[in-house]
Amino acid sequence: MVFGFHYYTRTTKSLIVVGASIIESVKQGEKGAFKLMYQDCIAYVFSIVRRYVVNDSDHPDVIQEIFARVFLSIGTFDTSKGDFKFWLRRVVINQCMQHHRKGKSAASLVSIHKVSEDNLQADDQIEQFSKADIEQLLNQMPEGYRQIFMLIIIDEYSHQEAGALLGISPETSRSQLSRAKSWLRKNLYNNELKTLANGL
Amino acid sequence: MDSKHDRIKKLLSEETSPLPPELNWEQMEAGILKKMEDMQSDASLKKKRGPIREITAGILILLLIGTCTFIRQQTGKGLLPNRKEVAVIKENTSEQYLLPVPAKTIPLSEKPQPEDCPEETVAFNTAYNENKLLKTNIISNNFKQRATIISTISNWKKPTTTPNKTLVEASENSSKKSTITEPQAWDFAPDIQTLPTRTITCTRESKSIITSNYQNPPSEHNTAPTQSNSAHGQIAILSGFSLWNMGYGALTPERSEFERSIPSYQVQINYTHPLKKGFQLTTGLHLQQLNSLFEWSTELENQTIILQDTIIQVQTNSLTGHQNIVRGDIEVPVEATRNVRHFNQTLLYQIPLAVGKSWRFQHWQMEMLIGGAITIFSENKGRTLYQSQLIDYGGVNTPFMNNQWQMQAMAAGRIGYYFNDRLGIKCGLQFQKSLTDWSLESGVSMRPSVFGGELGVVYFME
């Protein structure tokens, strides 16, 4: 029987079980515990990383950095107060942003361009898209849009938090999100047209 | 739109993606451990560099502020702005009419010209020139002399006869009584007593215009600083003496018997940031040298000296009376002591942080400060008697004390005199008491006290 904290994502497929004993062992610097924690968390970490880091070849490097950071700073995590999954997600996202800052310029804001707002009928076909389609679409999204979209829509950051993380103001964050949504609408519509065209 | 986002969110939150084989632990372990080492070394490097960077940044900021202030002072020390003179005039409580034209400064050596005053005063100035009522040479900067003149004039009585125009002759010491003539000086006496302080002003009535002619002209160097400058930051460079007491604890080591403090010096550059209601915050860099004198002596046993070419025998011929002097070297036992006299020197670089309160009385300002100081770097050099052995030491630490990163409580009182809105001098006393133990010996405490005096210049910033 495993005594510890059980963290679940919204879907039951993604169970993260990190025992308190494992956390304590990692705090003590036991390398055996590193492995256990890695195996427990890698799926969750990878799911976040691939959303923020488009280039597949960068994933191993980013994940190494994330786990190095987790193992080094887990002493700051208080098992009695916090949610490990929440804490881990913060570390992962922060590290992904750091990776972007190191690799290129900071979250490149996308220049303002006119995006059609009237393709709302794409919303109706959203159910037709698979996860792979969505991921492919989001991977095509400009860097600045995608980061804001992921942070605010998927990871439920506030504009204040997202702005602080990306080094932009909350107003800029709102503006970027608005454009990201417009971009998504437009491209969902285009994809839908392609789907329809292919079906002809 | 929300439904679309929810759908996307749901899809992306699922962790169903198969893990690539390169992400298994065996392949990642080495990389993770290496990155941990890198991060740790980076963190330790940052930790080491942190204080040095902060201190360097602080010093650079202070230097920058000082340079800016100096440059501003150099570029702006031409003419006094009119606002200063207005500020001075406002201090005057007499019922005088401030001219609508800018006040003009007239050096003492010059007589005021008619154009210095508006039309209504020209008549008086003309009278002044013609009647030679009061000679220019009786005008003095000295308030004592002025008071004497005023007193003299106040005691004047209206003469029964009016001889020709005479002059009020007043010597510099004002001991000589004046002879009174017309125009009637007693008319002016009450007005003289209400003279303004320093600037040329004219009253509406011509007979009281005298006020303007006998005052010191305003100058940049004797204008009282306006109250507004107390709301500005200031930089002070102070230096002075320092004395210290080693503050040994109850278990006094033997060296305390041979060491005593001797006066040394301290230098500090401070930035004072004004807060509300006369309170202020002071920080800076403080270089403090603490000197002590090590005097030690011991008796030396079995010490001898050799007396060379000394008369050791005088041979006298009893028949002839001739004397033959025999010389040689002899060894003589002596009582000897060994005296060791050595200066110990401790140099402390401190960053003080203190809150204070200041009070302003025209040119004077008094301030009291209380706070602390941390020694960021120290350098020791000297000799001491430690466990019955003489030990020479040097560097940051000594075998028996460590004075780096030590905390001191600090209190200071200073008095400043301000020549103008920019420049002043300041002097004061400062006391520091170590809050932490310098001693590295078990059972021996060392909490030195430092007392110092300081004198220096202070610049007000814009």
Among B449, B460, B441, B358, smallest CA distance to B401 is for B441
A193 touches B: beta carbon within 8 Å: no
A7 touches B: beta carbon within 8 Å: no
Cα(A118)–Cα(A141) distance, integer angstroms: 19
Res A99: pLDDT = 82
Res A147: pLDDT = 84
* Residue given tokens 């390398």 in the structure block: A31
CB atoms within 10 A of CB B134: 22
Chain A residues near residue B25 by CB distance under 8 angstroms: 35, 38-39
Q: What is the pLDDT of residues A80-128, one digit of tens each?
A: 767 788 888 888 888 888 887 776 543 444 433 333 444 444 445 555 6
Among B250, B284, B229, smallest CA distance to B59 is for B284
Q: What is the pLDDT along chain B (462 residues), one digit of tens a residue?
A: 556 667 677 666 655 567 888 888 888 888 888 888 888 887 777 776 666 667 777 777 777 776 666 655 555 443 333 333 333 333 343 434 333 444 444 444 444 444 444 443 333 343 344 444 344 343 434 444 444 444 444 444 444 444 444 434 434 444 444 444 444 444 444 444 444 444 444 444 434 333 333 344 444 444 445 555 556 788 999 999 999 888 877 656 666 677 788 888 999 999 999 988 889 999 999 999 988 887 877 788 888 888 888 888 898 988 888 888 898 888 888 888 878 778 888 899 999 999 999 998 888 989 999 999 999 888 888 876 665 667 777 777 777 778 888 899 999 999 999 888 889 999 999 999 999 988 877 777 888 999 999 999 999 887
Give the 3-state secondary structure of residue B453.
Answer: strand
Side chain identity, residue B230: S
| Closest chain B C-alpha to A118 CA, distance in angstroms | 12
Q: Any idea how long chain A is?
A: 200
Res B17: pLDDT = 64
**CB contact (8 A) between residue B12 and residue A60:** no
Select the residue of A46, A134, A184 nearest B12 (Cβ to Cβ): A134
* Residue given tokens 């504009």 in the structure block: A159
Which residue from B minimizes the CA distance to A15?
B15
The residue among A50, A154, A182, A184 with the most chain B CBs within 10 A of its CB, best to mutate, is A154
Rounded (5°) CA angle B34-B39-B43: 150
Which residue from B minimizes the CA distance to A11?
B14
* Residue given tokens 């990776």 in the structure block: A99
Cα(B83)–Cα(B62) distance, integer angstroms: 29
Looking at the whole model, is its pTM more than 0.90?
A: no
Among B108, B91, B71, B280, smallest CA distance to B195 is for B91
* Residue given tokens 């002059």 in the structure block: B167
**CB contact (8 A) between residue B35 and residue A63:** no
- Give the tokens for residue B205: 């009535």
Query: Which residue would you say has higher pLDDT here, B418 or A193?
Result: B418
Measure the CA dihedral A119/A124/A130/A136, to 10°. Answer: 10
Res A184: pLDDT = 80
**CB contact (8 A) between residue A65 and residue B23:** no
Contacts of B344 (CB under 8 A, 6+ apart): B259, B291, B292, B293, B294, B380, B381, B382, B383, B384
The residue among A153, A186, A192 with the most chain B CBs within 10 A of its CB, best to mutate, is A153
- H or E segment at B345? strand B323-361
ipTM topping 0.90: no
**Do residues B237 and B286 make contact, with C-beta atoms less than 8 angstroms apart?**
no
**Burial state string for A22-50 with b = 16 or more CB within 10 A and e = fewer than 16:** bbebbeeeeeebbebbbebbbbbbbbbbb
A15 touches B: beta carbon within 8 Å: no
Q: What is the pLDDT of residues A41-76, one digit of tens each?
A: 888 888 888 888 888 888 888 899 999 988 888 888
Rounded (5°) CA angle B240-B244-B247: 160
